[in-house]
Chains A and B, each alone.
Chain A
Amino acid sequence: MLEINNLTARIGDAEILRGLSLSVKAGEVHAIMGPNGSGKSTLAQVIAGHQDYVVTGGTATFNGKNLLDLEPEERAREGVFLGFQYPVEIPGVNNAYLLKAAVNARRQHQGLGEIDAFEFLKLAREKMAMLGMDTKFLNRGVNEGFSGGEKKRNEILQMAMLEPKLAILDETDSGLDIDALKAVAEGVNSLRKPDRAIVLVTHYQRLLDYISPDFVHVLSEGRIIRSGDRTLALELEEKGYDWLREAANG
C-alpha cells in the first residue's frame, strides 16, 4: 500500500529525513518510535504533503501512485489520513461543516453522490458515541477551545468518518490522561480492518499497551535503524534508545 524508498527531506536548511525506507501493507499496524528530533513527525507531514517540507530525494508511492506528485487534498481523497499531533483550532469553521465537506470530497472522488443530511448526522452520532464524544461538538468551531483529549478524539472522529485506507496517527497519545487514551485506543482498534493500514507515530510505548502493532520501527536521525515485532517496543521501554543508536553508529 505505502512504499517509501530512500526518502530524503528537509525543512528550511535542516535535512531531517536521510534515506528512509518503509513498506506498509493493507491490514498492518506499524509503530514508528524514536527519540525527539529523529524525524517521526516530519515523516508524517511529508506523507500528508505539508508544503514546508521539501522532498530532496527518494520515492513514496501509495497503491502504486506517486504520492509526492499529489496535493494534500488529493492524498486525502485517495485515502491517506493524518491524525495531527497538534490539531489546529479553526474558529468560525464549524466541525460538522468540515466533517461533511471532507466526507463529500472523498465520496466525489470515488464517484459517489453527496451524503444526505440525515445519513450524515446518523453516521456522525454513531461514531461520536463510540468515542464517547458529546454531539454538541458538532456545532463547535473546529477544535476551538477543545481540551487536549477532545482534540485527539476529534481527530479519531474524522478518521472514523473518512474511513481512510492509510491512517498515520502522529503522537495521538500525547497529552492524554488514561481514560482519554483508552477511548482513543478503542476507537483506533475498532477501525482496524484487513483493507486498512495504520501507522502509529509515538515516542512512548504506552499507546502500544492498548493498540498492538504488527511491526515496530525505530527512527533515528532520519533513518530507520531497527525494525522488529511488538517485543521491540518493550525492549525500548526497558533500555531506552541509546543502545540502538550506538549499535547503528558502531
Chain B
Amino acid sequence: MKPAMLSIDSLKSAVLRLPDDVLSATRAAALANLDEHGLPTVQHEDWKYTDLRPAIDISNRWLADGAARPTGGDLSEAIVSVTGSIDADWLVIANGAIDMSHFNSSPGIEIERFSESAAPFVMDRPLADLNAALLQDGLRVQVHAATEKPLGLLIIDDANSGAAVTQVNVEIMVAPGCDVEIVEYQTSSGRDDHYANSVVTLDIGEAAHTGYVRIQERRIGHVQTGRLSVSVGKDARFAMASYDLGGGLVRNDVDIDLGAKGADLVCNGLYLASDGQHIDNHIRIDHRVGPASSSQEFRGILNGRCRCVWNGKAIVHKGADGTDAKQANHNLLLSDNAEIDAKPELEIYADDVKCSHGTTVGQLDEAALFYLRSRGLGRHEAIQALTRAFAADLVGRAPVSAAKTAIAALVDARLAELTLERTS
C-alpha cells in the first residue's frame, strides 16, 4: 500500500492565504521543511506502529475544502463542564482560537500572544513543522512566582464547527526556584473528521518544581498528535502523568531533556483503550549530564479491538555519570483482539549509571474475579473493581493534587464503559 502523502500544494496555498504577520517567516520555514521531508510513514522506526494516514486524509480533505476556519458550534457549556471540574486558572483554546475569558490573571503569571510578540521556537520535527506552517497564534506563558491555583490549559474542539484541523502551540517558562502545577486537558466532540495537532514547550528553570497532568478524553474516532517538549534545569524537578482515556488515533510524543545536574524526572502515564482506539505514547528522555534521575511508569488497560504503543526511550549520553533511569510498563489485556506494542529502550554511553526496565502483559486474575463474585459482586462490578485497582496507583500519584478527584471520576467512568464490552 502506498503511504499517504500530505498534499503540499494545497498546504502551500492555504498558508499563502493567511495574512502577512509576525508569524509569516516561521510558517514559510516550516513549510519548506515539510516540503523537503514530508510527514513520517511506518517505514520510520519511530512510527513503525502508528500510521498517520487518518491524520493525513483528514488534513488533505480539509485543505481541499479551503482550510475552513470554524464558523459554527458553541463550546461554552463543554468548557464550563471542564473548568468546573478542576479548580485552576484556565487558558482555553477552543477550535484553535484563544479564549482568555476563563483566566483569572495572577501576579506571578505573564501571558502574551505570539501574534502580538514573536513567533515560537520550532523544533525540527515533521508534526511540529505542520503545526508551525498553519500557525496563526499561540500563547507564551511566563511563570515568575508560585501560583495559588494550578495553571489550566484546555484544548477543546468541536468538529461540527467546520474546522476539521486545529493547531495549538503553547510555550511555558517556569522561572528558577518557582513551583507550579499545570493541567493540560484535551477534549473534543462533533462529527467524525477531526485532527488536532498540539505543541507544548516547557522550560523549567533551575531548582523549579513543576507538576504536569495531561488528560486526553477526545471523542473516540478523532485524531490527536501532541508533542510535549520539556527541558529541565539544574536541581529542578518535573513530575508528569498523562491519562489517555479517549481519542481514535492518538500519538503523544514527550521529549524531556535533562541537561543539567541534579534534575529529577517522573514521567508516568495511564492509557485506557477499547474498540477503534490506537494510543501511542512515545517518550524520549535525554540524560546529558549526571547525576540526574528519571523514572517512567506507564500502565494500560485494553479491551475490544484496539492497539496501544509504549516506547520509553532513555538515552544516557557520554559523560552523564550518576544517571539513574527506570522504566516500567504494565498492561492488562481484557480481550484477544487487543494489542500492546511495548518497547523499553535504553541507550547508554556513560559508565557509571543505574538503569532498569520491566514490562508486563497480563490478563485479569481469574481467582480474584471468582473471589469477588463469590461475595455477591456481579461480574461487571468485579471486573471494574479489579481494573480500577490496576489503575489506582497512577491516579493517586497524579502530580497535580487539585486534579485528582476529576481524574479518578474520569477513569472510573471510562473503566465502567470499557469493561462492559469485554469480549473474552
Give the B-binding residues of A (Cβ under 8 A).
48-51, 71-73, 75-77, 82, 84, 87-88, 90-93, 97-98, 101-102, 105-106, 109, 141-142, 158, 162
**A84 CA / B368 CA spacing, docked (Å):** 12
- Pick the contact of B376: A87, A88, A142, A162 (CB < 8 A): A162
8 tightest A-B contacts by CB?
A: A92-B389, A105-B376, A76-B376, A102-B375, A88-B371, A72-B373, A73-B373, A90-B368
- Pick the contact of A51: B370, B372, B377, B381 (CB < 8 A): B370
* Residues of the A chain whose Cβ atoms lie less than 8 Å from the Cβ of B372: 90, 93, 98
B397 contacts chain A at the CB level, 8 A cutoff = no
Q: Given contacts A92-B392, A105-B378, are A76 and B373 in contact (CB under 8 A)?
A: yes
- Pick the contact of A73: B365, B378, B385 (CB < 8 A): B378
User: Looking across the interface, which residue of chain B has its beta carbon closest to that of A143?
Assistant: B371
Judge whether A101 and B371 touch: CB under 8 Å: no
Q: Given contacts A87-B371, A92-B389, are A77 and B376 in contact (CB under 8 A)?
A: yes
29 CB contacts below 8 A, A to B, read A49-B373, A51-B366, A51-B370, A73-B373, A73-B375, A73-B376, A73-B382, A75-B374, A76-B376, A77-B376, A82-B374, A84-B371, A84-B374, A90-B365, A90-B368, A90-B389, A92-B386, A93-B372, A93-B386, A93-B389, A101-B376, A101-B381, A102-B377, A105-B378, A105-B381, A106-B376, A142-B371, A158-B375, A162-B376
Judge whether B376 and A102 touch: CB under 8 Å: yes
Judge whether B385 and A72 touch: CB under 8 Å: no
Q: A98-B372, A105-B375 are in contact. List 11 more A-B contacts (CB 8 A).
A: A71-B373, A71-B379, A73-B376, A76-B373, A90-B389, A92-B392, A93-B388, A97-B385, A101-B381, A158-B375, A162-B376
Give the A-binding residues of B (Cβ under 8 A).
365-368, 370-379, 381-382, 385-386, 388-390, 392-393
* Residues of the A chain whose Cβ atoms lie less than 8 Å from the Cβ of B373: 49, 71-73, 76
* Residues of the A chain whose Cβ atoms lie less than 8 Å from the Cβ of B367: 88
A80 to chain B, nearest CB (A): 9
Judge whether B393 and A48 touch: CB under 8 Å: no
Q: Given contacts A50-B370, A51-B370, A90-B368, are A98 and B389 in contact (CB under 8 A)?
A: no
**A73 CA / B379 CA spacing, docked (Å):** 8
**A97 CA / B412 CA spacing, docked (Å):** 15
User: Looking across the interface, which residue of chain B has its beta carbon closest to that of A84?
Assistant: B371
B84 to chain A, nearest CB (A): 26
User: Looking across the interface, which residue of chain A has its beta carbon closest to that of B396?
Assistant: A92
* Residues of the B chain whose Cβ atoms lie less than 8 Å from the Cβ of A98: 372, 375, 377, 385
A74 to chain B, nearest CB (A): 9
* Residues of the A chain whose Cβ atoms lie less than 8 Å from the Cβ of B365: 88, 90
**A71 CA / B378 CA spacing, docked (Å):** 9
**A102 CA / B375 CA spacing, docked (Å):** 5
B18 to chain A, nearest CB (A): 51
**A162 CA / B376 CA spacing, docked (Å):** 10
* Residues of the B chain whose Cβ atoms lie less than 8 Å from the Cβ of A141: 389
**A48 CA / B246 CA spacing, docked (Å):** 38
B363 to chain A, nearest CB (A): 14
* Residues of the A chain whose Cβ atoms lie less than 8 Å from the Cβ of B382: 73
User: Looking across the interface, which residue of chain B has its beta carbon closest to that of A76?
Assistant: B376
Q: Given contacts A92-B392, A93-B389, are A76 and B375 in contact (CB under 8 A)?
A: yes
* Residues of the B chain whose Cβ atoms lie less than 8 Å from the Cβ of A142: 371
* Residues of the B chain whose Cβ atoms lie less than 8 Å from the Cβ of A76: 373-376
**A90 CA / B384 CA spacing, docked (Å):** 13
User: Looking across the interface, which residue of chain B has its beta carbon closest to that of A103?
Assistant: B376
B385 to chain A, nearest CB (A): 5
Q: Given contacts A71-B379, A92-B390, A97-B385, are A48 and B368 in contact (CB under 8 A)?
A: no
**A98 CA / B373 CA spacing, docked (Å):** 10
B59 to chain A, nearest CB (A): 42
Q: Given contacts A88-B368, A92-B388, A92-B390, are A101 and B377 in contact (CB under 8 A)?
A: yes
Judge whether A92 and B371 touch: CB under 8 Å: no
* Residues of the B chain whose Cβ atoms lie less than 8 Å from the Cβ of A109: 376
B424 to chain A, nearest CB (A): 14
Most buried by A among B372, B374, B382, B386: B374
Judge whether A72 and B386 touch: CB under 8 Å: no
A98 to chain B, nearest CB (A): 6
**A93 CA / B375 CA spacing, docked (Å):** 13
* Residues of the A chain whose Cβ atoms lie less than 8 Å from the Cβ of B371: 84, 87-88, 90, 142
Most buried by B among A71, A90, A106, A158: A90
B392 to chain A, nearest CB (A): 5
* Residues of the A chain whose Cβ atoms lie less than 8 Å from the Cβ of B375: 73, 76, 98, 101-102, 105, 158, 162
User: Looking across the interface, which residue of chain A has its beta carbon closest to that of B392?
Assistant: A92
* Residues of the B chain whose Cβ atoms lie less than 8 Å from the Cβ of A106: 376
* Residues of the A chain whose Cβ atoms lie less than 8 Å from the Cβ of B390: 92
**A91 CA / B367 CA spacing, docked (Å):** 13
**A92 CA / B364 CA spacing, docked (Å):** 13
**A141 CA / B386 CA spacing, docked (Å):** 11
**A87 CA / B371 CA spacing, docked (Å):** 8
A81 to chain B, nearest CB (A): 8
